[in-house]
Chains A and B, each alone.
Chain A
Amino acid sequence: MTVGAWEAFWLIVHREMRLSFRRPEQLLQPLVFFLIVTTLFPLGLSLQLSLLRDIAPGVLWVAALLSSLLSLDALFKSDADDGTLEQLALSGHGLTVIVVAKTVAHWLVTGLALVLVSPIVGTALGIPTEAFATMLLSLAMGTLTLSWLGAIGAGLTIGLRRGNVLLSLIVLPLATPLLIFGAAATERAISGASVVGALYFLAALCVFTCTLAPFAAAAALRITLE
């Protein structure tokens, strides 16, 4: 029974989602981390909400970046550990399809979750509700881009000792443009300026990464698996 590429894609996404939901605590961890990190900033700075608003976009984005990084390690790890990854690679569907499926599934349970939680965090940091639309849109694009950058990094660091530290070291510099455009978009939404420029750049980054990163991530897996 041969399976086409589309079917393979959906099968893998479906599998990833089912595996993720089997351990709901694992899903919650990045979210809780997100909440904790954002709490640290007001505690450390002891600012009133009106002053927090100024640093809110940056804090939100840095926290989202760090939380996403936490879960990226697991993108390929468990499958690599028990040999599933090799089986998938040998299945004849091409690593690219597999990588796309796994990364999309990962974003759905991590990045998207962060986006959905962000209104709570945004309120805690004093971001006005008028800015929420921009905040959600920019976080959605940003976390998707980050999932792809993370897929490349994860592919390169599977099975390395202290791989997650190396993963962060690799991914964070690559993610700085994301941070810049995403936080700027949110900040401009708060101050009422036009967000179009920042969002366009962010979207461009997202499209660029989503187009090219699958091939880089597949190449990374090929290097690790061969």
Chain B
Amino acid sequence: MSDFWSMGGYARYVWPCFGFAGIVLLWNIWSARRHLDAAKIRAARALAMAASEAP
């Protein structure tokens, strides 16, 4: 099992490599969710303003 973690001695490259890849994937999910939530809030606000301005 420790063979697996040491990756033939290359562990200090292999694991940060996969780690960074994972970070990028997670960032994508987080960022996309945040973007959608912000868009929904802005849309709700725009609708509310339009409704309050209606005669």
- Do A and B share a direct contact in the complex (Cβ within 8 angstroms)? no
